[in-house]
Structure 1
Amino acid sequence: MDIKEDDESPVVRPTELQLHDSVYARTGTLWTAVAHIITGVIGAGVLSLAWATAELGWIGGPAAIIAFAGVTLLSAFLLSDCYLFPDADNGPIRLNSYSQAVKVYLGKKNQIVCGVFVYIGLIGVGIAYTIVTATCIRAILRSNCYHRKGHNATCSYGDKNNYFMLLFGVIQIFLSQTPNFHNMLWLSVVAAIMSFVYASIGLGLAFGQILENRQIEGSVRGSPAENRGAKVWLVFQALGNIAFSYPYSIILLEIQDTLRSPPAEKQTMKKASTAAVFITTFFYLCCGCFGYAAFGDSTPGNLLTGFGFYDPFWLVDLANACIVLHLLGAYQPWKIG
């Protein structure tokens, strides 16, 4: 039976949507879903949350992180309920992508409109991952240079950024040969471990800086700006950084489509989303607050690549290497969004 939303909506044939069922066996569990979500959510942006907290202040920063976590969790709950579309003749239809869900529930026009914003978001994620990866590789070179020549040495390596970005693209070509998203658990597990490692290193270094300073930096109003207009602009930038730290709704249905049943996929997905968002929010609050407490108004845009820390240089190098490995793996779930 064909499904017709209205005269302008496309004809959606359940058999076409259900064809995907026979391609693979769904064996995902709560913990595999958590690994995929954390891979998609915790990115190098976690290290810029200290700067965002510095711009928003001690009240606004933590409040914004918690608010965006709540919005993310609510959207995840709502979207997970859309996975199975009820059909009286053919049974529930599995919608394994955000685009399919919009098309079936809201029609073709809305799919086109949402698709434009989705692809803009995906392009933004791809650009961000590429640039951050290149920046981290350059930061490793700079860290070793500063260790050899001193903190005042000229160690830019800016001319090598293009080569690093090209290297990222070449590696992604090879990683994209993985047969399908459902065989990428190992990649998500490795990427999730890397994200915890570099976030923990950044958190530990910030805590050590606080102990060294013997005081907590920062204020309720946040970092001062030249004028009110500049402050408003910086506040919106900070809010954008925090919002960008919770970007996985677009790939939620793809993750949900890996889960075995019973129990119902939406039940497992809601539990996984709750666990993953709580874990990531804890790390976000710690990194944002400890980073701001360590540096105050001079908080760098990125705790590791902005050289808030120079020593121990090998630990800074390890953290940046973990960021590179994480983004290499995290790009793969996003490319199928």
Structure 2
Amino acid sequence: MAKHMQKTSMFMEQSPSDYENGGSLKNVDDDGRPKRTGTWVTASAHIITAVIGSGVLSLAWAIAQLGWVAGPAVLMAFSFITYFTSTLLADCYRAPDPVHGKRNYTYMDVVRAYLGGRKVQLCGLAQYANLVGITIGYTITASISMVAVKRSNCFHKHGHQVKCQTSNYPFMAIFACIQLLLSQIPDFDKLSWLSIVAAVMSFAYSSIGLGLSIAKVAGGGHVRTSLTGVTVGVDVSGSEKIWRTFQAIGDIAFAYAYSTVLIEIQDTIKSSPPENKSMKRATSVGVWTTTMFYVLCGLFGYAAFGNEAPGNFLTGFGFYEPFWLIDFANVCIAIHLIGAYQVFAQPLFGFVEGWCSRNWSDNKFITGEHAVDIPFYGIYYVNFFRLVWRSAYVIVTAVIAMIFPFFNDFLGLIGAGSFWPLTVYFPIEMHIAQTKIPKYSFRWTWLKILSWVCLVVSLIAAAGSVQGLIQSLKTYKPFQTQE
């Protein structure tokens, strides 16, 4: 995300070297903000970092609840819907014209430009609550992967009969300490390198999980699978089957949750070629690449584990051999989530800092930048408000993750809460406003039907996840070592 805190005297402070022969500033865009350098490649990396997140780990479990027929069908449906609405949203980056209109730097800015009124506040509430939820979820997931490495080594060293009790909490604290440092990266535009590293990590652990699943299937051994997933009366009761089906839909919705940061990602792309064309290309690459991984990981994971597929399929290989490969995969997950946390946190950081700087522009604590010369890096500008606020945010999300460390339930609830408003409703409503589609026309009608169907899907997915959280809370004791 481009910086919100820009000094009004920017143009006065430029040196002669900042100007090109024509007299225009070469280091800033036409609106006076720092010149963007992103391309569809870096945008694709951001998308893959955001999309191939911890959601891929729960897909084998989700397919197990839905079965061979409904599972892949739901995956493909979410893929098509996400791609379609993302292209609509990409066209809304500039207003009123997709190519020559005024830039909008955040999702809320886009909603303000096209819809206005109370919908701006509703968008902000949905987006930023979702971003908070995702960062909490990623803290939980990263700690699970770090614990898996420790337990894998313990089993390898002491034998499979040892319990190897391990607590998640020290690893959540380690993850939070890393985020304390990375959260001081000033803005989204400086995250390209981190996203590329994270995208490589996501491909690595997805490929390892896929490879282990294929090896397990090829190695024989009987597992129960069925066209309709887990069997009522054998694996689950009738009510559990319904609730788990709802929760599985929420988990798949979460696996495609990146619309919350689409506009912020698009705001890193340079203006030539037009941002919407580059973003559509990046969306196509990102969504279809991740869908391929999702289908393969979900289906082969289900084939490997059957109806007893674990919530996190990389922890389902028994922590046994090859222990080093499973360790490497879990380390890749942790590194990936370190980057993904920042992709989702930066829009929230930018929103709060921009709002505070506009309301207290004379407060030096909020707006003051202090130059610090860092060896091997150069000049880094320290802002005390940024330092305090971002550090406090990381600490609070880590504490909440420690109190409610429920992986699958949390993922499903986040996915259900964000899918309809941010991935479907607002992009469709803004597309209708932008293109002035006549009310009750054929296109208007089917867009509205799509929106309402997705609302129903989000509601039932949320219901399943809430029920799962309630069941987990009944037996959960906070801050207790897990076996």
Output the TM-score relative to the length of structure 1. 0.89
Contact 2:214 2:300 in 1 (8 A): yes
Correspondence list, 1:1-337, <5 A: 21-86=31-96, 92-158=101-167, 161-213=168-220, 217-225=224-232, 226-308=236-318, 310-337=320-347
**Secondary structure of the structure 1 residue equivalent to 2:165:** coil
Deviates more, 1:28-37 or 1:100-109: 100-109
In the alignment, residue 77 of structure 2 is paired with which amino acid? A
Distance 1:276 1:215 in 2: 35
Deviation at 1:301, TM superposition (A): 1.1
Contact 1:40 1:247 in 2 (8 A): yes
1:3 is matched with none
Contact 1:80 1:270 in 2 (8 A): yes
Map Cα deviations across residues 262-283 of structure 1 (whole Å, 9 max, x no partner).
2211111111101111000000
Deviation at 1:116, TM superposition (A): 1.5
Deviation at 1:26, TM superposition (A): 1.5
In the alignment, residue 296 of structure 1 is paired with which amino acid? G
Contact 1:213 1:294 in 2 (8 A): no
Distance 1:257 1:125 in 2: 21
In the alignment, residue 31 of structure 1 is paired with which amino acid? V
Deviation at 1:23, TM superposition (A): 2.6
Output the TM-score relative to the length of structure 2. 0.63
CA RMSD of aligned residues (A): 1.8
Deviation at 1:303, TM superposition (A): 1.4
Map Cα deviations across residues 277-300 of structure 1 (whole Å, 9 max, x no partner).
100000000000001111111211
Deviation at 1:169, TM superposition (A): 1.6
Distance 2:165 2:329 in 1: 19
In the alignment, residue 85 of structure 1 is paired with which amino acid? A
Deviation at 1:19, TM superposition (A): 9.1
Map Cα deviations across residues 75-124 of structure 1 (whole Å, 9 max, x no partner).
2111111100138xxx7210111111112221131111122221221121
Distance 1:123 1:168 in 2: 16
Deviates more, 1:62-71 or 1:225-234: 225-234
In the alignment, residue 228 of structure 2 is paired with which amino acid? R
Map Cα deviations across residues 26-52 of structure 1 (whole Å, 9 max, x no partner).
221111111111011101220210110
Contact 1:30 1:272 in 2 (8 A): yes
2:388 is matched with none
Quote the sequence identity (%). 50
Contact 1:197 1:322 in 2 (8 A): yes
Contact 1:300 1:308 in 2 (8 A): no
In the alignment, residue 164 of structure 2 is paired with which amino acid? C
Deviation at 1:216, TM superposition (A): 7.5
Contact 1:136 1:324 in 2 (8 A): yes
Across the two proteins, how many residue pairs are aligned to each other?
315
Deviates more, 1:274-283 or 1:108-117: 108-117
Distance 1:142 1:29 in 2: 41
Map Cα deviations across residues 4-23 of structure 1 (whole Å, 9 max, x no partner).
xxxxxxxxxxxxxx999423
Deviates more, 1:294-303 or 1:187-196: 294-303
Moved over 6 A (4+): none
Deviation at 1:308, TM superposition (A): 4.6
Give the number of the structure with larger relative contact order, counting CA–CA contacts within 8 Å between residues 6 or more apart.
1
Deviation at 1:319, TM superposition (A): 0.4
Map Cα deviations across residues 168-187 of structure 1 (whole Å, 9 max, x no partner).
12211110122321121110
Contact 1:251 1:336 in 2 (8 A): no
**Secondary structure of the structure 2 residue equivalent to 1:304:** helix
User: Using a 3 Å threshold, how does the CA distance of structure 1 residues 301 and 139 change in structure 2: closer, same or farther?
Assistant: same
In the alignment, residue 187 of structure 1 is paired with which amino acid? L
Distance 1:258 1:220 in 2: 44
User: Using a 3 Å threshold, how does the CA distance of structure 1 residues 171 and 21 change in structure 2: closer, same or farther?
Assistant: farther
Contact 1:205 1:309 in 2 (8 A): no
User: Using a 3 Å threshold, how does the CA distance of structure 1 residues 308 and 95 change in structure 2: closer, same or farther?
Assistant: farther
In the alignment, residue 198 of structure 1 is paired with which amino acid? Y
In the alignment, residue 148 of structure 1 is paired with which amino acid? K
In the alignment, residue 90 of structure 2 is paired with which amino acid? S
User: Using a 3 Å threshold, how does the CA distance of structure 1 residues 70 and 309 change in structure 2: closer, same or farther?
Assistant: farther
Deviation at 1:207, TM superposition (A): 0.3
Contact 1:43 1:245 in 2 (8 A): yes
In the alignment, residue 143 of structure 1 is paired with which amino acid? S
**Runs (5+) with no aligned partner, structure 1:** 1-17
User: Using a 3 Å threshold, how does the CA distance of structure 1 residues 248 and 305 change in structure 2: closer, same or farther?
Assistant: same
Distance 1:155 1:306 in 2: 16
Contact 1:303 1:309 in 2 (8 A): no
**Runs (5+) with no aligned partner, structure 2:** 1-27, 348-483
Distance 1:287 1:308 in 2: 17
**Secondary structure of the structure 2 residue equivalent to 1:336:** helix
